[in-house]
Structure 1
Amino acid sequence: MTAPAEIAEAYTPLSIGPLQLRNRFIKSATNEGMARGGVPSQALVNHHRRMAAGGAAMTTVAYCAVTPDGRTFEDQVCLDEATLPHLPALTEAVHAEGGAACAQITHGGCFTFLPEMSTRYPLSASGGFNPPGVISGRFFKTAMDEDDMEAVAEAFVMGAKRAQAAGFDAVEIHMGHGYLLSQFLSPLYNRRKDGWGGDAAGRVRYPAEVLRRVVAAVGDELAVTCKISVVEGHKRGPAIEDVITTVRALEAAGAHMVVLSGGMNVEAPWQIFGSNMPKAAVTQIQNGVVRTATKLMRLVEPKITFRELYLREYSKRIREAVPTLKLAYLGGAKSVDGVAQIMNDGFDAVVMGRALIHDPALVNKFAGGELRVSGCTACNECVVTMYGPGGTHCVLTESGDAEANARPAAG
């Protein structure tokens, strides 16, 4: 299969640390809703197998919490001993299709809707009022002390080791979208006066330390990447110069690649998707807490019309300022022309979410000339299907497989 000339580079191999990918297309981490009670399901296996079969070089399993308290919802993978027996079914299925499997390892910090936690208040960079807690009832958060920081850093290391034991080829440390490590990076959340706060160099110290430890533990065998927000999308977010400082610090700490995303789950979710959540989609959310939160967000969000490559301007600033680190572009790529632009801009990989949910075979179809533009409309209704019985799927092309989502992956 010969790819169109304008995107031929996207079909060349890419080395990320010790890992070589067959091409430069990566399926982004998009919460799947396929781990009921925390147990990975057969639907989760099928979801990622299809991405690899469709041509993606690597597929990323979303939100693998490094501690039970690090989950945002109960129905998420937690990288613990109880989960490990179910994950090899996924990684083996992906490998059988010629793809690589990445585990996104993360901790939600104060962005959590868990009914029970081991602490009275969730952890964060700074204490005080907790904006996400307005919906969950956890109105306050606790500033992490040195012991907390040590424990969570080691939990990230253990999470990476467990991912390795389960057969994953890479881990993506989530430092964006308002989760714990993002809370350290964001001046909105990080108001610390010690060496872990202050300017951008201080705010990145803890995320960089977590990265450094994970690279030291597994970096010779696994690719270790980081996902960040190049723009948070609200007026109290970091300037682009701060983001450049962050990326340079991650490069110095040993990141094999940085995935450039954007937005915040609470303050600017529209910045993540580059478009608004449709009113009709909100009514489909079965989780009452999430449904209420989404309705409130719709009251304050600006009207956003989707445009392809909506994070390109911010990401190009990072590419220009950090010329040697491998960078992956994420943000609305859905066409041959869009992929060509990303390659021409000097990015090393293109990361796609909704377009691959719409059609897992899109990478192969681009290569074969069968399609030039994805049929994804950026309606965002796939975002809320994760709360339904079948998990995340495109409402235009399929219905979720509730039966497979009820079967454990290792069952």
Structure 2
Amino acid sequence: MKDIFDECQMGDLKLKSRIIRTGTWETETDEGGFLTPSIYDRYENMAKSGVGAIVSEIFALDHKDRFYPYSTNMNYKGFIKDYKMVTDIVHKYDVPILGQLAFFYYDDGENQKVEANDISQEGIRKLQAEVIMAAKKFSFAGFDGIQINMGNNFYLARFMNPYFNQRDDKYGGNTENRVRISSEIIKVIKSTMDMHVSCRINPWDVRKGGMASDESIAIACELEKAGADSIQLTARTISQIYDKGVKHPFLVYVDDLIDAVDIPVVLGGSLRDMATIKEVLNNSNVELVSMSKPFVAQADFLSDWKENGDGVAICQSCNNCYSKKTSTCFKY
């Protein structure tokens, strides 16, 4: 029987439990971008609660990005010092931490919102260099790895999606070509840094002519081939599959993905209570589960779960923290 608080591995990372905390927005910095004391407290409360690993709030590449006002700034002068303190706090509890990079737009120097079909190969090289530099900054700040968000509706998700990408060069067409922009980034990071690389992907797209589940699995295989250490599931939308009698919408897909790759797969998506998570762990091939909003409502809720052997997150799934792009809970 698998238990939530089993010691386990996520690739090269040793975990104290099967729960991966996933971050979203960061809104508690001061005007200069420096971290406030509440951020350090939040990370410490999560780290000491029994979480297996922590994925940070979103870091953005560019101050002109759509979500930059709600994201962590990695370009302010105190970034390395501030986040070295964060990672030191987390490591004090023997918990690994990944920096999450996600960007919606990309500015190639000619177009602030250049899309997959229009970006030149020189622009692609610029983008790749900026992502690799972000990974190096994470390394300097003490992060154990980088999670590149290639899911939801972020830039790299669109680039890999046949709905958006109709290029006729080596970065378009078949799956390998559409993933190439990301594969080349991963190869450089893995060959030059001691960093865990996690890729966040969608299992499907819910667009006509978009990405289906078999295409998503093919994308995951390409990312693994490039050197990715783990895959985490997310989605642009998951509501369309809830009416099919499945308790968790990704369970119709995740075992096929796990069978197709030899790297850890982290199941995400609206998990809120210990009983359901245990049921998923013991009735599927899932080994690792991610949670996001419950940590916004109560950063240390896993301490109660571990002590009581049962529990339900106080998060009410109101979605205000996400929709209003804040790192704080409106109810608690």
Q: Same fold (TM over 0.5)?
A: yes
The offset of 1:151, in angstroms, is 1.5
The offset of 1:198, in angstroms, is 1.5
Rate the CA distance shift 1:62–1:71 in 2: closer, same or farther, 3 A.
farther
The offset of 1:76, in angstroms, is 2.7
1:161 counterpart = 2:99 = no
How many residue pairs get matched? 329
Amino acid at match of 1:326: P
* Structure 2 equivalent of residue 146 of structure 1: 121
Choose which of 109, 122, 130 in structure 1 pairs with 2:113.
Answer: 122
* Structure 2 equivalent of residue 403 of structure 1: none
The offset of 1:64, in angstroms, is 1.4
Amino acid at match of 2:255: K
1:182 counterpart = 2:178 = no
CA contact (8 A) 2:62 2:68 kept: no
Task: Please give the alpha-carbon distance, in whole angstroms, between the structure 2 residues aligned to 1:32 and 1:304.
Answer: 33
Rate the CA distance shift 1:36–1:186 in 2: closer, same or farther, 3 A.
farther
4+ runs of 1 displaced by more than 6 Å? 302-305
1:173 counterpart = 2:148 = yes
Task: Please give the alpha-carbon distance, in whole angstroms, between the structure 2 residues aligned to 1:75 and 1:37.
Answer: 13
Choose which of 22, 45, 51 in structure 2 pairs with 1:56.
Answer: 51
Task: Please give the alpha-carbon distance, in whole angstroms, between the structure 2 residues aligned to 1:337 and 1:370.
Answer: 10
Task: Please give the alpha-carbon distance, in whole angstroms, between the structure 1 residues aligned to 2:34 and 2:90.
Answer: 15
Choose which of 87, 90, 93 in structure 2 pairs with 1:91.
Answer: 87
The offset of 1:310, in angstroms, is 2.8
* Structure 2 equivalent of residue 132 of structure 1: none
CA contact (8 A) 2:242 2:248 kept: no
1:361 counterpart = 2:300 = yes
CA contact (8 A) 1:36 1:75 kept: no
- SS of 1:311's partner is helix
Q: Which moved more, 1:245-254 or 1:98-107?
A: 98-107
- SS of 1:211's partner is helix
Mark the runs of 5 or more structure 1 residues left unpaired by the alignment: 1-5, 127-142, 264-269, 276-301, 398-411
Percent of matched pairs sharing the same residue: 20
- SS of 1:204's partner is helix
Choose which of 330, 343, 353 in structure 1 pairs with 2:281.
Answer: 343
The offset of 1:244, in angstroms, is 0.9
CA contact (8 A) 2:229 2:263 kept: yes
CA contact (8 A) 2:26 2:327 kept: yes
Rate the CA distance shift 1:213–1:35 in 2: closer, same or farther, 3 A.
farther
Choose which of 3, 24, 28 in structure 2 pairs with 1:30.
Answer: 24
Choose which of 171, 182, 186 in structure 2 pairs with 1:207.
Answer: 182
Return the structure number with greater relative CO, CA threshold 8 A, min gap 6.
1
Task: Please give the alpha-carbon distance, in whole angstroms, between the structure 2 residues aligned to 1:360 and 1:228.
Answer: 25
Q: What per-residue deviation string (whole Å, max 9, x for no partner) do you get for residues 385-407 of structure 1?
A: 43xxxx4222232xxxxxxxxxx
Amino acid at match of 2:167: R
Rate the CA distance shift 1:303–1:256 in 2: closer, same or farther, 3 A.
closer
Task: Please give the alpha-carbon distance, in whole angstroms, between the structure 1 residues aligned to 2:32 and 2:17.
Answer: 32
* Structure 2 equivalent of residue 79 of structure 1: 74
TM-score by length of 2: 0.88
Q: What per-residue deviation string (whole Å, max 9, x for no partner) do you get for residues 163-197 of structure 1?
A: 01111112101111122211211122212111211
Task: Please give the alpha-carbon distance, in whole angstroms, between the structure 2 residues aligned to 1:16 and 1:370.
Answer: 23
The offset of 1:233, in angstroms, is 2.9
Choose which of 11, 14, 18 in structure 2 pairs with 1:20.
Answer: 14
Amino acid at match of 2:99: A
Mark the runs of 5 or more structure 2 residues left unpaired by the alignment: none
The offset of 1:363, in angstroms, is 2.1
Q: What per-residue deviation string (whole Å, max 9, x for no partner) do you get for residues 179-235 of structure 1?
A: 2211211122212111211132321121121222222222xx322111011122333
* Structure 1 equivalent of residue 266 of structure 2: 328
Q: What per-residue deviation string (whole Å, max 9, x for no partner) do you get for residues 291-325 of structure 1?
A: xxxxxxxxxxx9999x8533222323312333x22
* Structure 2 equivalent of residue 224 of structure 1: 197
Task: Please give the alpha-carbon distance, in whole angstroms, between the structure 2 residues aligned to 1:72 and 1:190.
Answer: 22
Choose which of 210, 235, 254 in structure 2 pairs with 1:262.
Answer: 235
Choose which of 317, 329, 332 in structure 2 pairs with 1:394.
Answer: 329
TM-score by length of 1: 0.72
- SS of 1:59's partner is strand
Q: What per-residue deviation string (whole Å, max 9, x for no partner) do you get for residues 52-91 of structure 1?
A: 1222122211221244455632453243362223212221
Task: Please give the alpha-carbon distance, in whole angstroms, between the structure 1 residues aligned to 2:30 and 2:11.
Answer: 33
CA-atom RMSD in angstroms? 2.8
Question: Equivalences for 1:226-241 in 2 at 5 Å?
Answer: 226-241=199-214
Task: Please give the alpha-carbon distance, in whole angstroms, between the structure 1 residues aligned to 2:62 and 2:243.
Answer: 35
- SS of 2:68's partner is coil
